[in-house]
């Protein structure tokens, strides 16, 4: 675990925020989340039953002409009701991967994000950065130069005279990102996956995995994050140079992605894990 004091500090911070946004990435894979419309069937026309006509019996003693039964006219059957299927709106052609930012940004920001938080997204190279980060997270690493979100506005610092540790002051910095994650239901991401899954797969192939599925790499990334140990806070730090590290050598040896999960704090980490587990179940069920 590291915290930098220089300008690289913010770069390091927003790499760690990927543990928050990855749940949104998972939601993109919910393309078959039981949202298929129920087909409209033609309404059945009930059969018309014609009552049999019973002839009138002549009176025993009558001097009038016999009453002739008049056949009841048969009502014509109505024309069958034909269901009219709604006209499908054709999607515009899929943009090229290298020219996809404008459309992806437009559709992503059109979702019901919590007001004031959508500007946290970095809107350049969105699909490629997403794939690069997922691939690195799956290997326990972090990729510099491929941000998904804007950097934290507050840097990590320890006031003079205070112990070197992670505490509530540090955890509060992540609240906007947690709220961003929780503000949009996963169902709203289904259409985005349906639209851009071919481009995500293309970006993954460009990384050197032409015969592998990005979905499987995403599952590996989620599993690594879910395996982050749950510890008792505050966690003690040390600063042998300009970098903060975990004082516990075992924690310092954890994969970088898990160390950044620890930096979210116990409550934030639990909220992220609940969402990751939920999305993982849906993602895995599609195998």
Tens digits of residue pLDDT in 17-36 = 444 445 445 443 332 233 33
Average the pLDDT over 249-263 and give the result.
95
Residue 42 forms part of a structural domain: no
Range among 7-21, 107-121, 179-193, 259-273 rated most confident: 259-273
How many structural domains is the chain composed of? 1
Domain encompassing residue 162:
8-32+95-285
Residue 232 forms part of a structural domain: yes
Residues in the chain: 287
Range among 80-84, 128-132, 191-195 rated most confident: 128-132
Residue 269: strand, helix, or coil: helix
At 40, the pLDDT band (50, 70, 90 cuts) reads: very low
Distances (CA, A) of 146 to 72, 100, 200: 83, 16, 15
Q: Which of 43, 14, 213 is nearest to 129 (CA)?
A: 14
Residue 157 forms part of a structural domain: yes
What are the beta bridge partners of residue 238? 245
| CB neighbour class for 112 (10 Å; exposed up to 12, middle 13-18, buried from 19) | exposed
| CB neighbour class for 131 (10 Å; exposed up to 12, middle 13-18, buried from 19) | buried
Q: Any idea what the Cα angle at residue 283 is, between residues 34 and 26, rounded to 5°?
A: 105
**Higher local confidence (pLDDT), 254 or 160:** 254
Residue 60 forms part of a structural domain: no
Average the pLDDT over 135-159 and give the result.
78
Residue 127 forms part of a structural domain: yes
Residue 118: strand, helix, or coil: helix
Residue 182 forms part of a structural domain: yes
H or E element at residue 238: strand 235-238
Helix, strand, coil: what percent of the chain each, to 5?
45, 5, 50
């Amino acid at each position: 675990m590291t915290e930098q004091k220089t300008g690289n500090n913010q770069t390091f911070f927003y790499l760690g925020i990927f543990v928050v946004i990855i749940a949104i990435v998972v939601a993109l894979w919910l393309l078959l989340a039981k949202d298929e419309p129920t087909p409209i069937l033609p309404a059945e026309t009930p059969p018309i039953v014609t009552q049999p006509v019973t002839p009138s019996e002549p009176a025993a003693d009558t001097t009038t002409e016999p009453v002739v039964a008049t056949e009841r006219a048969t009502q014509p059957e109505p024309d069958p009701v034909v269901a009219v299927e709604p006209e499908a709106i054709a999607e515009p052609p899929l943009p090229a991967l290298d020219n996809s930012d404008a459309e992806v940004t437009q559709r992503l920001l059109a979702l019901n994000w919590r007001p004031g938080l959508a500007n946290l997204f970095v809107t350049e190279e969105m699909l490629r950065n997403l794939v690069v980060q997922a691939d690195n997270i799956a290997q326990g690493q972090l990729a510099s130069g491929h941000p998904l979100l804007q950097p934290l506005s507050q840097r990590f610092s320890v006031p003079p005279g205070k112990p070197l540790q992670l505490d509530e002051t540090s955890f509060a910095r992540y609240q906007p990102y947690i709220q961003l994650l929780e503000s949009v239901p996963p169902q709203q991401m289904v259409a985005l996956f349906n639209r851009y899954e071919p481009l995500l797969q293309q970006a993954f192939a460009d990384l050197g995995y032409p015969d592998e599925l990005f979905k499987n790499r995403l599952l590996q990334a989620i599993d690594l994050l879910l395996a982050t140990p749950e510890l008792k806070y505050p966690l003690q730090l040390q600063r042998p140079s300009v970098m903060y590290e975990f004082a516990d050598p075992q924690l310092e040896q954890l994969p970088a992605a898990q160390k950044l999960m620890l930096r979210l704090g116990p409550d934030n980490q639990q909220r992220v894990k609940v969402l990751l587990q939920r999305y993982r179940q849906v993602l895995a069920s599609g195998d």
